[in-house]
Structure 1
């Protein structure tokens, strides 16, 4: 019973903390805050392993792991608290203090958010002490009853034994009923509180309505530039390549946010400050008064391994970033733009790259015909074509600071990643998939290549150590997008290794040297093994 008491106490603490956080600041839920702290403090190899092993489910796996750990801790605390409540109370207090510390050290701390972990701590202790008292009383009554029964069995007065049991019966029933009722109430209340907190965090802030309203505004807006239509010859889906435009649901997502920040477009503001002649403070209305452009852009994650799928393409709608920064009057010595997310995450982008003519850096508000999805940065994110996302694609953008690389470090650079990260020329084999069984003869090989912002000039494919065969390239949509390719190889019976390599418009061919993503992106030729029989 002591273990159940400890579990219920911790569950009550988690539920109450989640509920209070739903009213005040979703990220201040102690359960979520501890998860965020784990992400921040984990060694980089552990983070990369989680990305590669679990993909976009890495956050769910982390939270599930924390839940399992809490159950184990509750079990230990319950065993230690079988005779007296103090050890179990101490466990709840330690967990509560960890929750408070996690919230207090979060990058985007809101002072009111501390109320959530404090409430969790107090509720947890109250429930643990109260249920332990009821459980102890019920156990003592059970032992006394067992002792009385043994006395009767040894020859004590039957009448006296029955009389004592009858007197204790109602009291015993009341204690057990109280314990059962209190436990059930705690269990139901905890789940209800956690669910209520989740509902408040996700929909109680009007995000869905705000996105719908912004989508309508974008549909009615006048554009200074529209993305050209994607020709049918830009992809080879019949051969197994990915669609040219990635749907919002399928677009890769890599970030450190366990709880997606919730900001209505109507409440959004952007502060541009630091080494500028004049600070700017922009609202969504201010942003939408500027010329809107729509561009097809391929985004690539630095964590993408050779042949990986952390690369996607969409039609993005936004406002040119360079003119906005020039309005602020940039100090010539400010070589870095630090972008800050709503959750406190930071990225450092080279100022010169953003200001480069034709680069097309954007403050993005729309994606594939609608306002940005929450998981992709609603209401505003930043995109700089040609740079890996960790230095250029801040989601849930709230702040831009003009500074220098020497003066200010940022999230991933603190963890060993490179200061500047131009996207490397890469390609991928989409078909045939690895370990396919194929018929002998002519085999179609197809895939995708990218080299933003210069574009792909050629792709070559070979079987085993044979000669390179030049692939047919699909119609080019633009230098900032990927390019599909296909080729035919004549394969005889046996096992074959198919390899591809790409060359960009500068004439640079991707290197065969295999390098892991850290610190500035993976290199190497993608390959798949197939069997022909």
Structure 2
């Protein structure tokens, strides 16, 4: 567009009304400045005070259960990326709307900016892990949004009072330079805030833990416990592939040097342990399969690892537990909570751990470094607090934990389940002897039998791999002589108590999915 065309467009615009692109840009830049200012201040007062993250965490807390389950089912560990992306798009649209509503006067945009600021302040104040100064971050966002919006709007409308074409040109250039300055400033502030948020050297702290050598190592996994050569999962899940499902929008950055665990409430003697207290004890290693309650029938949220730590039982007994019917209300550094019967944590056979290591190294950050709870036989939502910093003994029902407040069951025993790993759903295999393999689990009880049937025919007992212990999954395999075409295979498991999986399909919430895993595949 040449100069004459631009002048023609300007003359066609009402004298007191901003062009659509300019109005939209003002809204977008004001929101960008607000987010950057808030993120910058959060770098000093705490990363979770960042308004964008605080609103995101509040969104997670307020999201209906059906929508959370949909996100986990369809996006897995990427659900938080999807949430943040959706928030970014939503804020962009709101910014554009705020700008467009303010083409004549800035008041509509200022009202929207104020409303967004108040939402951010409420979100930060509602965070259980925010300090007293956390509110400064959303206040800074609010001030930046209002200030930048009002200023850019004033600069953009200054051409209305210009007395000559020359003055109008100066006004346009001033707006261009001002907009560029805001964009660059927002980028710099946001970048500095991100740098400050990561200044806690948690990676160095984790590396400093060094090699973890348990005094009581887990028994070696026999080769006969693993059918991964024919398509089943590897018996031990690597740290990188171990499932992750939690509510943490950003992984807490807590150094081992700063970590403390408080044990209090209905105990004889309140105790506080630091990382050195735990690290210097006689560490034990246990092979444990963990399962998420969000796991659909045949789903991926079940994994096995060698966890290293100290028995939770020892810590509780040192504090003194006069009431064996009490519950332990555990809290993460980010405020997430759950409650577990103290009887389950004192059960020597179950072997609950305060874990500081996983598969021979310090816990990965996303799996709870510096320390987490691992309780065999219970779904994670009711036991497996990551980044744990507080254990409070309470009477049953005295407090409601995070997921209980959202309608999930109070108790979370893992249900007997089985899964087909090979063939894969809708896959193709050669005709002839077709191997079928997978895993089954019934933690703290053990798997007694796995049966498989093809195309609705009779159930056929599968070969079971060597059992490692009753706290882990058990692998299985069998084979069928199949001709070409489409086939359907189903599996069911029976635990050592004689309980066989029910065919009735129920969703994971409130206390775990049930049903037989079924897949379709083709034989060429």
- In 1, the alpha carbon distance for the partners of 2:354 and 2:424 equals 37
Judged with a 3 Å threshold, the aligned counterparts in structure 2 of structure 1 residues 368 and 199 are, in CA distance, closer, same or farther, namely farther
Aligned to 2:200: 205
Aligned to 1:437: 428
Aligned to 1:159: none
- In 2, the alpha carbon distance for the partners of 1:435 and 1:46 equals 27
Q: 1:390 aligns with which of 377, 381, 384?
A: 381
Question: Highest CA radius of gyration, 1 or 2?
Answer: 1
What is the correspondence of 1:120-139 to structure 2 with a 5 Å cutoff?
Answer: 120-138=141-159
- In 1, the alpha carbon distance for the partners of 2:179 and 2:360 equals 50
Cα distance, 1:457 vs structure 2:
1.9
Matched, 1:92 2:113: yes
- Structure 2 contact 437–477 (Cα < 8 Å) conserved: yes
Matched, 1:228 2:223: no
Structure 2 residues without counterparts, runs of 5 or longer = 1-21
What is the correspondence of 1:30-429 to structure 2 with a 5 Å cutoff?
Answer: 30-138=51-159, 140-141=161-162, 169=166, 171-202=167-198, 204-214=199-209, 216=210, 218-219=211-212, 221=213, 223-332=214-323, 334-429=325-420
Aligned to 1:149: none
Moved more, 187-196 or 522-531: 187-196
- Structure 1 contact 307–526 (Cα < 8 Å) conserved: yes
- In 1, the alpha carbon distance for the partners of 2:333 and 2:301 equals 23
RMSD across aligned C-alpha pairs, in angstroms? 1.5
- In 1, the alpha carbon distance for the partners of 2:74 and 2:161 equals 51
Moved more, 52-61 or 504-513: 504-513
Structure 1 residues without counterparts, runs of 5 or longer = 146-164
Cα distance, 1:173 vs structure 2:
4.3
Aligned to 1:530: 521
Aligned to 1:155: none
- Structure 2 contact 293–381 (Cα < 8 Å) conserved: yes
Q: 1:503 aligns with which of 475, 486, 494?
A: 494
- Structure 2 contact 324–343 (Cα < 8 Å) conserved: no
Q: 1:466 aligns with which of 457, 466, 469?
A: 457
Is the partner of 2:133 in helix, strand or coil? helix
TM-score (norm 2): 0.93
Cα distance, 1:238 vs structure 2:
2.1
Is the partner of 1:225 in helix, strand or coil? coil
- Structure 1 contact 462–489 (Cα < 8 Å) conserved: no
- In 2, the alpha carbon distance for the partners of 1:334 and 1:273 equals 16
1:84-135 CA-partner distances (Å, limit 9, x unpaired): 1111111111101100000011122311111111111111111111111111
- In 2, the alpha carbon distance for the partners of 1:312 and 1:486 equals 19
Moved more, 341-350 or 449-458: 449-458
1:403-443 CA-partner distances (Å, limit 9, x unpaired): 02221111111111111111111110011011123333221
- In 2, the alpha carbon distance for the partners of 1:438 and 1:324 equals 52
- In 2, the alpha carbon distance for the partners of 1:198 and 1:245 equals 35
TM-score (norm 1): 0.92
Aligned to 1:154: none
Moved more, 20-29 or 386-395: 20-29
Q: Structure 1 runs of 4+ off > 4 angstroms? A: none
- The count of corresponding residues between Structure 1 and Structure 2 is 503
- In 1, the alpha carbon distance for the partners of 2:463 and 2:195 equals 51
- In 2, the alpha carbon distance for the partners of 1:491 and 1:207 equals 54
Aligned to 2:17: none
Moved more, 226-235 or 18-27: 226-235
- In 2, the alpha carbon distance for the partners of 1:523 and 1:192 equals 51
1:120-158 CA-partner distances (Å, limit 9, x unpaired): 1111111111111111113554xx65xxxxxxxxxxxxx
1:238-275 CA-partner distances (Å, limit 9, x unpaired): 21111111111111111111111111100001111111
